[in-house]
Amino acid sequence: LTSNGRRSFVQRANRYTILGGILYKRGLDGILLRCLKAHESSKAIQEVHDGICGGHFSGLAVAKRILRLGYYWPSLNQDCCEYTKKCVKCQQHSNLTHIPSQALQPAADLWPFSQWGLDLIGLINPRSSQRHHSIITATEYFTKW
């Protein structure tokens, strides 16, 4: 290691301490944060994000809550963001549009019967008097008929 590398290593190492066989990192406010192992960190993310008191918060919000609870690991922010991106409930209930909407562009129909649209409505209950269970509609786009 170069002298700058050694100095940087010593500065980073001074932020850590071992008490009772457990590794801790000293936070910016001086509070000791317990360093978690990989299997412990995934359990912590799961509990904070979708546990009993979890509110399916964003990745950075989950990371802040974990820090406030007194835990730390080097890839905390990245792991929390990856976990929340994969959360099925968050995907189901998030906003559907993440890109700005654009003005509709009219379709260019040059002649009649060049383009058709079909719509199917299926499994209607109760069935019609003639026992039909679905409806199909066809629209010709040029004449709108």
pLDDT at 96: 62
Q: What global pTM score does this model have? A: 0.60
Q: Which pLDDT score is estimated for 93?
A: 78
Closest-CA residue to 34 (of 20, 48, 13): 20
Determine the Cα angle at 91 with ends 85 and 93, to 5°.
140
- List the domains of the chain with CATH numbers: 10-93 (1.10.340.70), 112-145 (no CATH)
pLDDT at 114 (0 to 100): 84
Segments of the chain with pLDDT less than 50: none
